[in-house]
Amino acid sequence: MFAEAFAQALRSYRAHRLRSLLTAVGVMLGILLVVVTGCVGAAFQQAMINQTKIGGERSIQFTVGSKANLSFHYLPVFDDTNLLAVASTPHVVRTAPVNVYYSGAEPVSIALSDGSQHPLVSAVTATTPDFFTIDDLTFAQGGAFASAQPQLVVGAGTADQYGLHLGDQVVLTLPQVSAQPFTLKVAGILARLPNTLFGNSGVYNNLLAVPIALLPSTGRYVALDAQVDSTANLTATESGIEQRLNAVPAIQVALTKSGYQVIGLSQADNVATVGALLGQVQIFVIVVAALAAGIGGIGIANTMLVTITERTRQIGIMRAVGATRRQVQQMFLVESLVISVVGTVAGILLGLLLSTGITLAAAFPLSFAVWSLVVSAVLGLVVGTVAGLYPASRAARINIKEALAYE
C-alpha cells in the first residue's frame, strides 16, 4: 500500500510540478538555514579551537579577574609560595612566574645598536625560560634566554618592527624596575604565528621577554603560568589550583577591594566560551529555521488542501472501489511527506554546498555538523507529517456520494 501511495504521490507531484516545487522550496529554505548554520558554525568553532591552541594546549595562566567573561588583570598578588604551591600540584609538570611592564607615566623604551631610541608600544614580559615551553612556542632563530643572563627573546613582529636580528644588542629602559637601563642580547626570535581573530598570536608576535631573574626581585608576580601533563587533566587541575590560590589569606586580602578572584585561563576555557557563544547563536538560528520550516509546513498544508479539493472526485472513486478512510488518509499523508522530503533533501544538499563554499571562502577548516543533518531530517519528517495530518484526515472524512457528484 505504501509503494502505491508513494507512486500516486509522485504522479501528483509530476501533475502539479510547479506548485509542488514551490511548496518544497518553502521547506527547503528552512532546512538550508539549519544545515548552513550547523556546518558553518561547526567550521567556525573548529577554527576558533585551532586558534586557541596557540599558546599551548596544556598551559594555564593564573591571574585575577572574572572567569564569566574571560577578563583578567595583571595585579601583583602572587608570590614564590604560591608558585611553589602550583608547582607541587599533581599533574603540573612545569611553572613560570610572569611579570608584565607597560609604558605608563614612566615610558619603557628600547635603544638599538645604531643609537636610535624607541618608545616600546608593547609590554615587556619578565619570566623564566620554561615560559616558552609552557606556551608551546617555537623559535625561528636561536632559543630561549638563559636564566639571569642579559638576554631577551622577541616575537617575529617585534623583530620586524625594530629590525632586530639574532645576537643584536639593545638597551632596554624599564623605569618601573630600575633606574639603570639593561643591555641585552637577542637570544631568540619566535617563529611568526598567523594572525587570528581569536587567541594569543598577536601577543606572541609582539613579545619582548626578558629573564625575570635578571631584574631586581619584588617577590611579587602578576601571573603564574603552568603546564599540565595532559589535556585530560587540564580542567580539573585548573579548578583545583584556582580553589587553592583563592584560599590563600594574603591573596584574599589583596583582592578584597577589587572584587576579583584568582582565575585560571586555558584553551579549554576559550573553547568553552566560544562554544557557549556559538551555541547561543545556533539555538537562535535553529529557532528561526524551525519557524521557517513551520512556514514551509503551512505551505504544504495549504497545497494539500487545494489538492484534496481538486481531487475530491478521485477520493470518492477510491472510496467507492474499496479504499478505507485510513488508506485515503495514508495516501495523502505520504503525498505531504514526499513534498517535505524533496524539500528536506534539496535543503540538505544545497545547505552542504553553500556551507562548504562559505567555509572555504572564510578559510575555516571544513567541518560538517552531523547534528544539523539529523535535525534537518527530523524537522523535515515532522513538518511533512504535521502539515499533512489535517488535510489527510479531511480527505478521509469526505462523503463518498458527494465526492462522486463533485465537478
Query: Which backbone phi and psi does 159 adopt, to 5 degrees?
Result: -60, -45
Q: CB-wise, 137 or 331, nearer to other proteins?
A: 331
Q: Are strands 124-127 and 208-211 parallel, antiparallel or unpaired?
A: parallel
CB 355 within 8 Å of CB 39: yes
Q: CB-wise, 165 or 401, nearer to other proteins?
A: 401
For 304-343, give the DSSP string. Answer: HHHHHHHTHHHHHHHHHTT--HHHHHHHHHHHHHHHHHHH
Does an H or E element contain 87, and which? Answer: helix 80-87
Three-state SS at 106: coil
CB of 346 to other proteins, least distance (A): 23
- One-letter amino acid at 356 equals T
Kindly list the residues in this chain that would bind other proteins in the complex (CB under 8 A).
Answer: 1, 3-4, 11-12, 14-15, 313-314, 316-327, 400-401, 404
For 288-313, give the DSSP string. Answer: HHHHHHHHHHHHHHHHHHHHHHHTHH
CB of 386 to other proteins, least distance (A): 25
Q: CB-wise, 4 or 106, nearer to other proteins?
A: 4
Q: CB-wise, 11 or 165, nearer to other proteins?
A: 11
- One-letter amino acid at 301 equals A
CB of 307 to other proteins, least distance (A): 12
CB of 392 to other proteins, least distance (A): 16
**Residue 139 to residues 101, 154, 162, 190, 370, Cα–Cα distance (Å):** 23, 10, 18, 4, 39
CB of 309 to other proteins, least distance (A): 15
**CA geometry: angle 98, 104, 56, nearest 5 deg:** 30
CB of 324 to other proteins, least distance (A): 4
Q: CB-wise, 15 or 360, nearer to other proteins?
A: 15
CB 333 within 8 Å of CB 394: no
Q: CB-wise, 229 or 402, nearer to other proteins?
A: 402
Q: CB-wise, 258 or 324, nearer to other proteins?
A: 324
Q: Nearest CA to 173 among 222, 75, 87, 101?
A: 101
Query: Around 395, how many Cα atoms within 13 Å sit in the side-chain half-sphere?
Result: 34
CB of 331 to other proteins, least distance (A): 10
Between CA 123 and CA 244 the distance in angstroms is 29
Q: CB-wise, 17 or 257, nearer to other proteins?
A: 17
CB of 302 to other proteins, least distance (A): 21
C-alpha cell at 387: 502539515
Sign of the Cα pseudo-torsion (61, 63, 67, 69, in order): negative
Q: CB-wise, 58 or 319, nearer to other proteins?
A: 319
**CA geometry: angle 297, 25, 354, nearest 5 deg:** 120
Q: CB-wise, 179 or 321, nearer to other proteins?
A: 321
CB of 7 to other proteins, least distance (A): 8
CB 186 within 8 Å of CB 219: no
Terminal CA-CA length for the chain:
28
CB of 384 to other proteins, least distance (A): 22
